[in-house]
Structure 1
C-alpha cells in the first residue's frame, strides 16, 4: 500500500509540474507550433483532473488536499477566459446614433447541403436570411458565405443589399466569383467601406480587412476564418472496430497538428494588420481556436476579448459535437472603442455556429 501511495504521489507531482507548464504557456504564450498547441489545449482536462483528485482527497486523506487546492486556485487566473457570471444583457444608455452593431456569424453555406428534406432546407434558408436582416446589425461578417444570384432562394446578397447593406467586401472575389455564384467569406456594411484588402490562407480560409466610415469616424474591421481543426466525433462514433478508431484518431491528430502550425503563421499576418492600423480595430470571426491557444492568447495581448468583458456563462459557439467549445470570438481596441454590449445568440440554431453580436461606440462618444 505504501508503494502504491508513493507511486501515486510521484505521478501526481509530475502532473502538477505539467499543469504549471500549461499555465505558463497560457499566461506568456512564449512558444508556437503544434506540440505546444496540444499542451495548451489540454487545459480543461488538466483542471478536471485536479478537481477529481481534490474530491478524492476530501473523502480519503484531507492532509493531501492542499496541493490540488493551490493548483486550482492558481488556475483561477484563467477563469475570465472560461466563464462569465453576468446574467443578463447590459442596459444600453448611449444614444442610438452613437453606437454601431457588429455581427459575426459562420453561416455554414446557409445549410444548403443539409440532409434534411428539401422543404425544410428551403424554409431554414429563408428564415435564416430573415433573422440576419432582423438583427439590424450595422456590419455583418459572414464566414462560409455562399451566394447563387441565379436563384431567388440563394441570392442572399441581393436580399441583404435591399435591407440596406449596400457596401460589400469579399474574400478573394476574383478567384471564387464564378458565373452567378460566390463561395468564401463576405463582409456587408450599412456604412461606406472606404478601403479594403484580403489575404487567402487556404480555400475559403483567410482574412478580410475593411476600413469603414461610421458616423464621421473610421473603424477597421478584420473578419477572419482560420483553418478548421474541428474534431469529427461523428466519424469516431461510426467506427465499429478499434482499427477504425485508430485510423480516425490518426487523421484527427494530423489535422490538428496542421491547424496549429498554420494558425501560428496566420497569426503573424493578423498581428501585423492590427499593429499597422491607424484606426480603432475590431477583429471577429471563426478562429477555430479555443480560449486556451496561442492565437487566442496572442490576440488577447493586442486587443480586448468581448466575451471576457461582457459575455455570459460559458459562451459556447459551436452547434454540433462536441458542442461545449468556444471557437468564434470578437476582439476590440479598448483604448479607442467602448463595448456597450455583447451576446452569443445560442437560441439561433440554423448553422453549426452561433452568431456573436457586439455593440460598440467610439471612445470619444462617451457620455
Structure 2
C-alpha cells in the first residue's frame, strides 16, 4: 500500500509540474505552436483535477493536500478570463457629449440553411430568428456564417435593411447569383470605408469604419478557422476501435485549427496596428480564453466580457457546450465599455449572441 501511495504522489508531482507549464504558457503566451495550444486548452480540466485532489490527499495524507490546494489557488490568476462579475452596466444613452453605440456578434449558422427541418415548421423559427436580430437594438451587427438569399425565407438583407441596417460590409464576392454566404457587418450607423480578406470558404475578416456622431470606430469582424470537430460522433461511439478512430480525427482537426488560426492572427495584428481609429474586434474566434490568440490580444486590447460580463458567458450551444469562443476586444485607451450581455436563452443557432455597449472617451 505504501508503494502505491508513493507512486501516486510522484505522478501527482509530475502533474503539478505540467500544470505550472500551462500557467506559464497562458500568462506569457510565448508560443503559437499546436502543442502549446493543446496544453493551454486543457486548463479547465487540469484545474478541476486539482480541486478534486484536495479532499483526496487530505484523507490519504493530510500534509500532501497543500500542493493541490496551492495549484488550485494559483489558478485564481485566470479567474477574470473564466467568470465575470461586471454587473449589468448602466443604461444611460449618452456619456457627457459622447453617444453610446452597441455592437452584437452572432454566428447565425447560415440561418439553418443546411438543415432539413427549415423546409417544414422550421421556416417560422427562421422568421423568429430574423425578427429577434432586427429588434435586438444593436447599432452594429457582426454575423459570421451569415446567409442571404433573395425572394426566400432567407432574404435577410432586405429584412434587416427595413429594420434600419442600411449600411453593410461583406466579403468582396458579395453575391453568388441571388445569394450570399459568409461574414457580414450590418450597421444602422454610416460605414465610410471597408475592406476584407477571405481565409477559407466563409472564414475571414471584414473591416468597417463606422461613424458614431463626429467620431469614427474601426470594427473588425472576424471568423477564424473552424475545426468542425463533430464531437457528437465521438460520444456516440460504442466500440473502442470507433472511439480511437474518432479521437484521432478530432485531434488532427484540433492540431490543424491551432496552426491555421495562428497564421490568420498575423493578418489581424497588421490590421489593428495600422488603424488610425480606435479598434473593436468581434466575432467567432474559435478560441477559448486560455488560448494563444486570446492571450496575445488581451495584452493590447481589453476583453468586454471580462470588464462588464456576468457569469461564465459560455457562447457555444452544442458539444462541448461549456466554452466561450465568441469575443469582443476593444481599445480601452479610446473607448469605454458600459455593458456586455451573453444571450444564453437565444438558441436559434449553435452560438449564442453577445452584445457590448460602448462610447468614445
TM-score (norm: length of structure 1): 0.95
Which residue matches 2:338? 340
Q: 1:112-168 CA distances to partner (integer Å, 9 max, x unpaired)? A: 3334363321011100110001112110000001111132x2111001111111111
Asked if structure 2 preserves the Cα contact closer than 8 Å seen for 1:124 and 1:350, the reply is yes
- What is the SS of the residue equivalent to 2:85? coil
Question: Per-residue deviation at 1:195?
Answer: 1.2
Asked if structure 2 preserves the Cα contact closer than 8 Å seen for 1:224 and 1:287, the reply is yes
- What is the SS of the residue equivalent to 2:25? helix
Alpha-carbon distance between aligned partners in 1 of 2:113 and 2:176, rounded to the nearest angstrom: 18
- What is the SS of the residue equivalent to 1:173? coil
Alpha-carbon distance between aligned partners in 2 of 1:187 and 1:133, rounded to the nearest angstrom: 13
Question: Per-residue deviation at 1:172?
Answer: 3.1
Which residue matches 1:222? 220
Asked if structure 1 preserves the Cα contact closer than 8 Å seen for 2:112 and 2:118, the reply is no
Question: Per-residue deviation at 1:92?
Answer: 2.0
Q: Does residue 51 of structure 2 align to residue 46 of structure 1? A: no
- What is the SS of the residue equivalent to 1:64? helix
Q: 1:257-303 CA distances to partner (integer Å, 9 max, x unpaired)? A: 00000111111111111111111110000000110100111111121
Alpha-carbon distance between aligned partners in 1 of 2:103 and 2:177, rounded to the nearest angstrom: 30
Alpha-carbon distance between aligned partners in 2 of 1:172 and 1:244, rounded to the nearest angstrom: 42
Which residue matches 1:99? 100
Query: Which structure 1 segments of 5+ residues have no match?
Result: none
Asked if structure 2 preserves the Cα contact closer than 8 Å seen for 1:112 and 1:121, the reply is no
Which residue matches 1:7? 7
Which residue matches 1:29? 29
Alpha-carbon distance between aligned partners in 1 of 2:154 and 2:53, rounded to the nearest angstrom: 53
Asked if structure 2 preserves the Cα contact closer than 8 Å seen for 1:231 and 1:322, the reply is no
- What is the SS of the residue equivalent to 1:26? helix
- What is the SS of the residue equivalent to 1:255? helix
Asked if structure 2 preserves the Cα contact closer than 8 Å seen for 1:229 and 1:256, the reply is yes
Candidates 240, 243, 252, aligned match of 1:242: 240
Question: Per-residue deviation at 1:321?
Answer: 1.3
Asked if structure 1 preserves the Cα contact closer than 8 Å seen for 2:26 and 2:291, the reply is yes
Candidates 158, 177, 180, aligned match of 1:179: 177
- What is the SS of the residue equivalent to 1:186? strand
Q: 1:158-216 CA distances to partner (integer Å, 9 max, x unpaired)? A: 01111111111112325xx2111111111101111111111111111000111111111
Counterparts of residues 61-140 of structure 1 (less than 5 Å): 61-86=61-86, 88-95=87-94, 98-116=99-117, 118-140=119-141
- What is the SS of the residue equivalent to 2:125? helix
Query: Which structure 2 segments of 5+ residues have no match?
Result: none
Question: Per-residue deviation at 1:222?
Answer: 0.4
- What is the SS of the residue equivalent to 1:229? coil
Asked if structure 1 preserves the Cα contact closer than 8 Å seen for 2:99 and 2:212, the reply is no
Structure 1 segments (4+ residues) deviating >6 Å? none
Which residue matches 2:230? 232
Q: 1:292-338 CA distances to partner (integer Å, 9 max, x unpaired)? A: 10011111112100111011111000111111111100110111001
Question: Per-residue deviation at 1:241?
Answer: 2.2
CA separation of 1:318 and 1:37: change in aligned 2, threshold 3 A: same
CA RMSD of aligned residues (A): 1.4
